């Protein structure tokens, strides 16, 4: 136990800001997961691996001399089609089965992706340098890498665009209709098969954006996907499925929680504390989740 974080107010501010910026990025990944879960009733264990794949797209652009920030435009486009491909190959066969089957299927996809990425890109840890510099606050007592600010900004931008798209566009309305009642939507002429494919594609595209941001702010490695899956799973569990402001809030909350756990318990318990929180929340939410069906707004 170490309470340094409370002894110096500037460290507290630093921890909160770091946590919030990190949390916004997590929230973007979690939003994709919530969307898919709400519409298709699928928990995607491969979520984190899609993020890492998106990161590799930005990394390869960087290798070929293109600024990795362009990855936030290129990666989602490529990942959208990867998502559609996965849907056509695997997910459409499990989409109306129970949750357990879909977890198994996506777990399989996750392992396959890890191995394929390892095979294709090698086992080296890589990153893309944005060269964005640093913002100093409070007489340089608080430092924020601009890459983190950039990734939070882009995450918010994409989330807002998606919300507007869901409200205004035809496909968006069809997705929401399917989420509320797939059978009724089908009777009223919605091609649910198409809606499912698009939903999976949109989720993969969001992962692509997040991945590009991860490669700019952190590092990527074929086996580093799981922590992202766990975090987004947790955010969704806390926020509930149809609750976008909830996803954003719980994302930032988790980010701050992680930072403080890091300072107080030590870095070695950072990921561990997330798992512990997950168990506690699962126990707490268990009854609620099993009794109530939730819809995507």
| Subset of 215-234 contacting other proteins (CB under 8 A) | 218-219, 221-224, 226-227
Residue 98 contacts other proteins per CB under 8 A: no
Query: Is 204 or 224 the residue whose CB approaches other proteins more closely?
Result: 224
Residues that bind other proteins (rule: CB under 8 A) add up to a total of 40
Q: How open is the CA angle 71-243-14, to the nearest 5 degrees?
A: 60
Packing angle, helices 9-40 and 192-217, rounded to 10 = 160
Query: In Å, how far are 71, 189, 295 from 89, measured between CA atoms?
Result: 26, 24, 26
Q: Are 39 and 179 in contact (CB under 8 A)?
A: yes
Cα dihedral sign, 285-286-291-292: positive
Among the listed residues 8, 81, 138, 275, the single contact to other proteins using CB under 8 A: 8
Q: Are 203 and 32 in contact (CB under 8 A)?
A: yes
| Shortest Cβ 57–other proteins spacing (Å) | 18
Residue 267 contacts other proteins per CB under 8 A: yes
Query: In Å, how far are 19, 137, 142, 261, 289 from 10, measured between CA atoms?
Result: 14, 10, 7, 17, 40
Query: Is 162 or 210 the residue whose CB approaches other proteins more closely?
Result: 210
Residue 11 contacts other proteins per CB under 8 A: yes
| Residue partners of 14: CB distance under 8 A and separation at least 6 | 141, 142, 143
Stretch that binds other proteins, among 84-92, 112-120, 154-162, 200-208 (CB under 8 A): 112-120
For residue 18, how far is the Cα from the chain centroid? 17
| Subset of 268-287 contacting other proteins (CB under 8 A) | 268, 270-272
Tokens at 280, concatenated = 């506690």
| Shortest Cβ 134–other proteins spacing (Å) | 5
Binding map of other proteins across residues 19-38, x = CB under 8 A, - = no contact: ---x----------------
| Subset of 246-265 contacting other proteins (CB under 8 A) | 259, 262-263
Q: Are 160 and 136 in contact (CB under 8 A)?
A: no
Residue 111 contacts other proteins per CB under 8 A: no
| Subset of 143-162 contacting other proteins (CB under 8 A) | 143, 145, 147
Stretch that binds other proteins, among 101-109, 142-150, 158-166, 286-294 (CB under 8 A): 142-150
Query: In Å, how far are 24, 25, 155 from 152, measured between CA atoms?
Result: 6, 6, 5
Q: For residues 296, 80, 250 and 127, what is the CA-based torsion angle, rounded to 10 degrees?
A: 180
Query: Is 150 or 200 the residue whose CB approaches other proteins more closely?
Result: 150
Binding map of other proteins across residues 167-206, x = CB under 8 A, - = no contact: ----------------------------------------
Among the listed residues 115, 181, 288, 295, the single contact to other proteins using CB under 8 A: 115
Binding site for other proteins (CB under 8 A): 4, 8, 11, 14-15, 18, 22, 115, 118-119, 122-127, 129, 134, 136, 140, 143, 145, 147, 218-219, 221-224, 226-227, 259, 262-263, 266-268, 270-272
């Amino acid at each position: 136990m170490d309470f340094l974080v409370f002894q110096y107010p500037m460290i507290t501010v630093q921890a909160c800001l770091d946590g919030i910026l990190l949390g916004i990025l997590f929230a973007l990944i979690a939003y994709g997961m919530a969307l898919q879960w709400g519409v298709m009733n699928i928990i995607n264990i491969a979520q984190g691996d899609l993020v890492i794949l998106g990161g590799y797209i930005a990394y390869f652009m960087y290798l070929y001399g293109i600024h990795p920030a362009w990855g936030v435009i290129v990666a989602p486009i490529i990942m959208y089609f990867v998502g559609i491909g996965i849907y056509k190959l695997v997910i459409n066969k499990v989409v109306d089965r129970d949750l357990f089957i879909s977890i198994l299927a996506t777990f399989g996809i996750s392992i396959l992706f890890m191995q394929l990425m390892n095979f294709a890109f090698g086992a080296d840890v890589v990153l893309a340098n944005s060269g964005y510099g640093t913002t100093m606050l409070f007489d340089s007592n608080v430092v924020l890498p601009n890459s983190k600010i950039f990734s939070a900004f882009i995450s918010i931008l994409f989330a807002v665009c998606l919300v507007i798209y869901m409200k205004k566009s035809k496909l968006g309305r069809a997705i929401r209709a399917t989420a509320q009642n797939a059978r009724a939507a089908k009777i009223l002429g919605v091609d649910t098969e198409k809606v499912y494919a698009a939903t999976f594609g949109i989720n993969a595209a969001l992962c692509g954006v997040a991945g590009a941001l991860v490669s700019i702010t952190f590092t990527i490695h074929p086996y580093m996907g799981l922590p992202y899956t766990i975090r987004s799973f947790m955010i969704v569990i806390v926020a509930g499925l149809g609750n976008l402001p909830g996803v954003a809030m719980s994302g930032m909350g988790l980010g701050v929680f992680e930072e403080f756990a890091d300072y107080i318990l030590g870095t070695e318990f950072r990921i561990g504390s997330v798992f512990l929180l997950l168990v506690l929340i699962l126990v707490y939410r268990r009854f609620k989740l099993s009794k109530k069906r939730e819809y995507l707004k």
